[in-house]
């Protein structure tokens, strides 16, 4: 049996603004509309994923035309999901970092290693008896893999969280863990930009993820979706992020606490999962707190990649001047 040629599925825009669903093969993008119909979108393919996947495989083996170099197109979000779900505190090393930062900020004077060891033991015990922590994001925050990230205020401690994102390929409700992987169409990259200094409201014991994570452009996604069957073991993937060329995150997915099957199964017991939905699986170690609170600033360039899933490159920019008065009002 011949080896299948790797391919991706995404949504792209030409220089003159024409958008189309595209098949990515060897860094070339082929317009699927010319083969499958002008109304073809990634969401329409995901809605009929079991039927669409064999067609895409066949096209990838002999794409036909020369295609357009990926570098000459603007990658839009590969799919515009109806629901965006995110796993939090889902990597062992990341949890240890969070624990040290929280304890130190609360006045704990113990050595860092002692706090990390305590956090690891607590996390392992909780993993045995508790469900994953999953929260909802706003789909309006999603942008493309090469779009600018607007560092909206209020707040100044803008951070990065590069994550493996699961793309749902079937309607899913109350799915057992043993069957959960069959509801996954594929994987892509997500970066969950977070503003740390507005995460907690003073005098109000709640976490404000709307303010922290769901502002426009705070979820760069893509550049494309790679089918699950071309990624035999997601735990073998490596997540790597650099800011201005300095590597900040470089970790194997194998450090994950709750894996893809756990997350899909759990999320399906709470929500009705829909084809095209995105489920981010959590951030590995290496956020700004680990690098001396080196928060993102206008002019920074974030480059992120996950093994075999492509690359992101996003420029951080200041908010437009005309909304400055809103920031000043909120900060007052």
The share of the chain scoring above pLDDT 90, in percent, equals 77
What are the two backbone dihedrals, phi and then psi, of residue 136, each rounded to the nearest 5 degrees? -95, 140
Strand partners, 247: 242
pLDDT at residue 64 is higher than 80: no
Distance spanning both ends of the chain, measured CA to CA:
66
Q: What is the pLDDT of residue 109?
A: 76
Mean per-residue pLDDT over the chain, rounded: 91
Rg (CA), the chain: 20
Answer yes or no: are the C-beta atoms of 46 and 276 closer than 8 Å: yes
Q: What is the pLDDT of residue 90?
A: 94
What confidence tier does 105 reach under pLDDT thresholds 50, 70, 90?
low
Q: What is the pLDDT of residue 297?
A: 98
Closest alpha carbon to 278 in 187, 193, 175, 211: 187
What confidence tier does 203 reach under pLDDT thresholds 50, 70, 90?
confident
What are the two backbone dihedrals, phi and then psi, of residue 32, each rounded to the nearest 5 degrees? -75, -20
Mean pLDDT of 252-273: 97
Q: What pairing do the DSSP bridges indicate for beta strands 162-168 and 200-201?
A: unpaired
Residues composing the chain: 332
Q: What is the pLDDT of residue 329?
A: 53
| Sequence-ordered list of residues with C-beta below 8 angstroms from that of 81, at least 6 positions apart, any chain | 139, 142, 274, 276, 277, 278
What confidence tier does 325 reach under pLDDT thresholds 50, 70, 90?
very low
Distance CA 32, CA 157 (A): 41
Please identify, in words, the CATH class of the domain defined by 84-89+132-331: alpha beta
How wide is the angle at C-alpha 162 spanned by C-alphas 28 and 110, nearest 5°?
160
Say which DSSP state 319 is in. Answer: P
Mean pLDDT of 255-278: 97
Q: Which of 31-40, 123-132, 203-212, 302-311 has the lowest mean pLDDT?
A: 123-132
**Alpha-carbon separation of residue 158 from 2, 55, 297, 300 (angstroms):** 47, 42, 8, 11
Residue 207, SS3 per DSSP: strand
Tokens of 45: 């393919």
| Sequence-ordered list of residues with C-beta below 8 angstroms from that of 26, at least 6 positions apart, any chain | 5
How wide is the angle at C-alpha 169 spanned by C-alphas 166 and 175, nearest 5°?
85
Distance CA 237, CA 235 (A): 5
Question: What DSSP assignment string belongs to 224-289?
Answer: -BEEGGG-S-GGG-EEEEEETTEEEEEEEGGGBSS-HHHHHHHHHHHS-B-TT-EEE----S--GG
Q: What is the pLDDT of residue 1?
A: 38
Q: What is the pLDDT of residue 222?
A: 98
* Greater model confidence, 3 or 181: 181
Q: What is the pLDDT of residue 321?
A: 81
**Alpha-carbon separation of residue 1 from 62, 96, 151, 215, 228 (angstroms):** 16, 46, 50, 48, 19
Answer yes or no: are the C-beta atoms of 105 and 159 closer than 8 Å: no
Q: What is the pLDDT of residue 260?
A: 98
Dump pLDDT digits (tens) for 7-61: 999 999 999 999 999 999 999 999 999 999 999 999 999 999 999 999 999 999 9
* Greater model confidence, 128 or 330: 128
pLDDT at residue 249 is higher than 90: yes
Distance CA 223, CA 310 (A): 6
Q: How many CA atoms lie within 13 A of 27 on its CB side?
A: 4
Answer yes or no: are the C-beta atoms of 4 and 61 closer than 8 Å: yes
Q: What is the pLDDT of residue 324?
A: 53
């Amino acid at each position: 049996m011949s080896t299948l040629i790797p391919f991706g599925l995404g949504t792209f825009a030409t220089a003159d603004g024409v958008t189309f669903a595209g098949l990515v093969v060897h860094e070339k993008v082929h317009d699927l509309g010319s083969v499958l119909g002008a109304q073809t979108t990634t969401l329409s393919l995901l809605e009929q994923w079991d039927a669409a996947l064999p067609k895409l495989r066949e096209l990838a083996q002999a794409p036909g035309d020369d295609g357009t170099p990926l570098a000459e197109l603007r990658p839009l979000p590969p799919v515009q999901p109806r629901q965006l779900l995110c796993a939090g505190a889902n990597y062992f090393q990341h949890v240890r970092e969070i624990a040290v930062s929280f304890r130190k900020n609360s006045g704990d004077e113990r050595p860092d290693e002692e706090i990390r060891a305590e956090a690891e033991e607590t996390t392992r015990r909780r993993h045995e008896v508790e469900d994953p922590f999953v929260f909802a994001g706003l789909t309006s925050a999603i942008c493309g893999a090469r779009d600018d990230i607007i560092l909206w205020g209020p707040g100044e401690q803008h951070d990065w969280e590069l994550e493996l994102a699961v793309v749902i390929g079937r309607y899913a409700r109350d799915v057992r863990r043993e069957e959960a992987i069959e509801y996954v169409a594929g994987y892509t990259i997500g970066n969950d930009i977070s503003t740390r200094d507005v995460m907690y409201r003073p005098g109000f014991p709640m976490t404000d993820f709307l303010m922290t994570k769901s502002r426009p452009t705070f979820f760069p996604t893509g550049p494309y979706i790679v089918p699950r069957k071309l990624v035999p073991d997601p735990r073998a993937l490596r997540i790597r992020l650099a800011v201005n060329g300095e590597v900040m995150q470089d970790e194997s997915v194998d450090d994950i606490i709750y894996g893809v099957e756990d997350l899909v199964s759990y999320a399906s017991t709470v929500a009705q999962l829909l084809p095209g939905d995105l489920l981010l699986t959590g951030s590995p170690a290496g956020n700004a707190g680990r690098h001396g609170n080196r928060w993102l600033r206008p002019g920074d360039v974030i480059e992120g990649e996950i093994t075999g899933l492509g690359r992101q490159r996003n420029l951080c920019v200041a908010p437009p001047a005309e909304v400055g008065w809103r920031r000043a009002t909120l900060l007052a």
